[in-house]
Amino acid sequence: MRRILIVGAGQAGLQLALCLQAEGYEVTVMSARTPEEIRAGRIMSTQCVFWPQLQIERDHGLNLWEDRTPRIVAQRVTVAGPPGERALQTLGRWDDFAQSVDQRVKMAGWLELFEQRGGNAVYHSVMTSDLEGLSALYDLTVVAAGKGELVELFDRDASRSPYDRPQRKLSCIYLHGMTPWPGHPEPHVRITATPGVGELFFMPGYTHTGACDILLWEAVPGGPFDVWDDRPGPAGHLARTLDMMRRFVPWEYERTVDAQPTDARCTLYGGYAPVVRHPVGTLSPTAHVLGMADVVVANDPVTGQGSNNAVRCAEIYLRSILERGDRPFDPAWMQRTFDAYWEYARHPTAYTNMMLGPLPEHVQKVLATASRNERVAYRFAHGYANPADFSNWLLDPVKTEEFLASVT
């Protein structure tokens, strides 16, 4: 029986651990926090998992909260110009629903499931100095902890990382009590983009206190949305959110004015430079570890791809491990395994990096056309769940013009 060590207990690490466990592998997960500590901790993300990735979870029996989580069926995009006024708006329906489960709920539940099934969970933080001794005990060590010193094992790939500093400052809050969009009560994602200033995202989700409403501010550094350095608590965050909405996004203020924070730890602040790293970490000439998910490809959440990348990465790594059989997990195999993942991840990475800069003229034209053409609105929304399709049209201005000409 092959022995696998996974360092990190997020979407990718736990999904891979549970799937390998189901295939008869002896798996150890190292987590810095227990399930109880995760549940009682601060929110960790604004995850929105689209239907192709939900199906992967479903196929492995990991969709434990599907029956109680709102089913998100569409995506509304509003472009503000000037701030506080709507220049245009699109609505694209999806082929199937997406869902957002608070990672405090999901990761705690998956950790408990892993242990219930006989998995070995070790609750202890891991330093780089610990890894060489640990990795000697296992056939393969996978690093799935996207924060902390372990990521320094993996060198930045400058050829795939155009930014060397954060392009957005992030602030998030989970709420109860927002009201539905007039005339469209079905759960849907809403994105308001204010060019040169930033974005406000809304999505329905599920947390430990039930269905909730998630708001994420993406602020261009130094701009009017960049007001979160003092990291206020939930009440202060909500008060500031309402003030900003009143000035910049009044159509969302109307939906939010009676809302309340879900709990005492329902806010999150941060920001990071989008990055792609080389996947093989070298501990010694004979000891190597494999990075996965956010460790090797970290996209800004402006396009909602992080959790979806993690699901795909775990699935691709699972297939590669199973196909390897009894052969050694050497650096060449590690690189090939990452390359298979990059074949997927390169598409959302390219789209996300494009959307972090000034909104390209051809994308502005797409959104303007989508506001009055359902086929364009559908294809734009479809790409969020199937980002490879963006490479067929939206990432290339010439192909974009060809597509728009074909439907208009």
Topology of the domain comprising 72-100+169-270? D-Amino Acid Oxidase; Chain A, domain 2 (3.30.9)
Q: Which of 163, 239, 253, 236 is nearest to 200 (CA)?
A: 253
The count of C-alpha atoms lying within 13 angstroms of the C-alpha of 297, restricted to the half-sphere facing its C-beta, is: 29
Check residue 192 and give its pLDDT. Answer: 97
pLDDT per residue, tens digit, the chain (408 aa), is: 899 999 999 999 999 999 999 999 999 999 999 999 999 999 999 999 999 999 999 999 999 999 999 999 999 999 998 889 999 999 999 999 999 999 999 999 999 999 999 999 999 999 998 898 999 999 999 999 978 889 999 999 999 999 999 999 999 999 999 999 998 889 999 999 999 999 999 999 999 999 999 999 999 999 999 999 999 999 999 999 999 999 999 999 999 999 999 999 999 999 999 999 999 999 999 999 999 999 999 999 999 999 999 999 999 999 999 999 999 999 999 999 999 999 999 999 999 999 999 999 999 999 999 999 999 999 999 999 999 999 999 999 999 999 999 998
Check residue 229 and give its pLDDT. Answer: 97
Provide the residue count of the chain: 408
Helix, strand, coil percent content, the chain, rounded in steps of 5: 40, 25, 35
3-state secondary structure of 10: coil
Check residue 392 and give its pLDDT. Answer: 97
* Sequence ranges of the chain with CATH classification 3.30.9.40: 72-100+169-270
* Sequence ranges of the chain with CATH classification 3.50.50.60: 3-42+103-163+273-355
Q: Are 393 and 400 in contact (CB under 8 A)?
A: yes
Angle at 361 between CA 357 and CA 363, to 5 degrees: 80
CATH number of 3-42+103-163+273-355: 3.50.50.60
Tens digit of pLDDT for each residue in 270-313? 999 999 999 999 999 999 999 999 999 999 999 999 999 999 99
pTM of this prediction exceeds 0.85: yes
Q: Which of 283, 199, 255, 266 is nearest to 232 (CA)?
A: 266
